């Protein structure tokens, strides 16, 4: 059996699986019929925290988690598409250039969804903490985003899953297990691709700081909303 080397750090893997579960749970709890809108809002704050973590980790995380390692530049995309056409794609240690487009798209769409949630209300009893503290036009725009971005998000997630299935089934690339264990077989990656450790201490510090920031954002700094339901 080939030796395995660490590629995906532990904080990134925890982020990925928590993010996937949070997005699915946010969707489930958004249905007014389930009467779980309060849970939905808490999950939304959690998703915001995860997004802030992922964005910071994209600058200070380990090698393959950094945005600079997989930013889809025109040259990277062109070379990769040529290889794909010539059936010459090799397994990459981190995200491949096409996959990284999808990563940025998902992070962008879910950020729009979570941020817009802070400014909307459901015309019954629930409202985001910043509802009523911006202009009516901005509020309507946020409402529009929250009710429409989700369709694009679903499309992006479906494409994400189809792409993974394609690489695993057709291209015979090992992708899912490394997102769980963090490791890829030594014969598929270069020895220089290996990361030494997961930067756990830094990740814990970030999580503490982000928790404090989200608490400040949605509780301490949030304006008191006038209750005028009757
Ligand atoms: C709502 C559901 C999901 C969302 C929003 C989501 C989102 C993401 C994101 C943002 C990344 C990039 C990781 C990073 O660098 O931050 C990623 C990568 C990945 N996801 Fe998901 N994911 C979802 C579900 C799944 C599921 C169910 C699977 C497994 C079947 C999966 C397998 C993977 C794999 C294997 C990668 C790494 C791809 C590569 O090696 O380039 N994801 N996902
Ligand atoms: C990942 C984050 C989030 C996702 C995926 C998400 C998703 C959704 C979806 C799909 C709906 C139903 C929209 C429709 O019926 O067309 C919804 C409604 C709602 N969301 Fe979110 N949301 C997120 C974050 C938030 C946040 C942070 C808040 C507020 C703090 C929030 C507050 C609400 C409210 C109040 C509704 C009901 C709106 C209405 O019925 O008019 N959401 N959300």
CATH code for position 120:
1.20.950
The answer to whether 143 and 120 have CB atoms below 8 angstroms apart is yes
CA of 142 to the centre of ligand 2 (A): 11
**Is position 42 within any domain?**
yes
Kindly report the length of the chain.
Answer: 230
Q: What is the distance between the alpha carbons of residues 225 and 230, in angstroms, rounded to a whole number?
A: 15
The answer to whether 32 and 122 have CB atoms below 8 angstroms apart is yes
Closest ligand 1 atom, CA of 164? 35
**Is position 225 within any domain?**
no
CA of 152 to the centre of ligand 2 (A): 14
Closest ligand 1 atom, CA of 64? 15
- Longest CA–CA separation in the chain, Å: 68
- Asked if residue 226 has pLDDT above 70, the reply is no
Residue 85: the pLDDT is 87
**Is position 23 within any domain?**
yes
Q: Average pLDDT for residues 181-207, to the nearest whole number?
A: 94
**Is position 85 within any domain?**
yes
**Is position 230 within any domain?**
no
**Is position 226 within any domain?**
no
Give the model confidence (pLDDT) of 75-130 as tens digits: 999 999 998 888 887 778 999 999 999 999 999 999 999 999 999 987 667 889 99
**Is position 39 within any domain?**
yes
Q: Provide the domain limits for residue 131.
A: 4-220
pLDDT band for position 230 (cuts 50, 70, 90) = very low
User: How many structural domains comprise the chain?
Assistant: 1
Closest ligand 1 atom, CA of 21? 1
CA of 5 to the centre of ligand 2 (A): 40
Contacts of 19 (CB under 8 A, 6+ apart): 47, 50, 54, 110
pTM: 0.94
Contacts of 229 (CB under 8 A, 6+ apart): 124, 125
CA of 103 to the centre of ligand 1 (A): 8
Lowest-confidence region among 26-40, 105-119, 145-159, 209-223: 26-40
């Amino acid at each position: 059996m080939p030796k395995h080397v660490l590629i995906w750090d532990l904080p990134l893997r925890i982020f990925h699986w928590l993010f996937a579960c949070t997005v699915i749970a946010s969707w489930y709890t958004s249905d007014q019929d389930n009467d779980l809108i309060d849970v939905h809002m808490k999950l939304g704050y959690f998703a915001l925290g995860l997004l802030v973590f992922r964005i910071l980790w994209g600058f200070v995380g380990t090698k393959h988690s950094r945005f600079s390692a997989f930013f889809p530049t025109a040259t990277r995309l062109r070379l990769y598409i040529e290889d794909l056409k010539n059936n010459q794609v090799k397994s990459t240690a981190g995200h491949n250039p096409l996959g990284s487009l999808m990563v940025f798209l998902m992070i962008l769409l879910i950020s729009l969804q979570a941020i817009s949630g802070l400014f909307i209300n459901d015309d019954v009893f629930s409202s985001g903490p910043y509802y009523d503290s911006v202009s009516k036009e901005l509020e309507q725009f946020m409402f529009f985003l929250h009710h429409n971005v989700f369709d694009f998000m679903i499309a992006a997630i479906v494409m994400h899953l189809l792409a993974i299935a394609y690489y695993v089934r057709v291209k015979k690339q090992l992708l899912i297990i490394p997102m769980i264990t963090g490791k890829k077989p030594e014969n598929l990656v270069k020895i220089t691709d290996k990361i030494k450790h997961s930067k756990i201490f830094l990740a814990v510090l970030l999580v503490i700081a982000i928790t404090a920031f989200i608490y400040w954002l949605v509780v301490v700094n949030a304006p008191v909303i006038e209750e005028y339901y009757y």
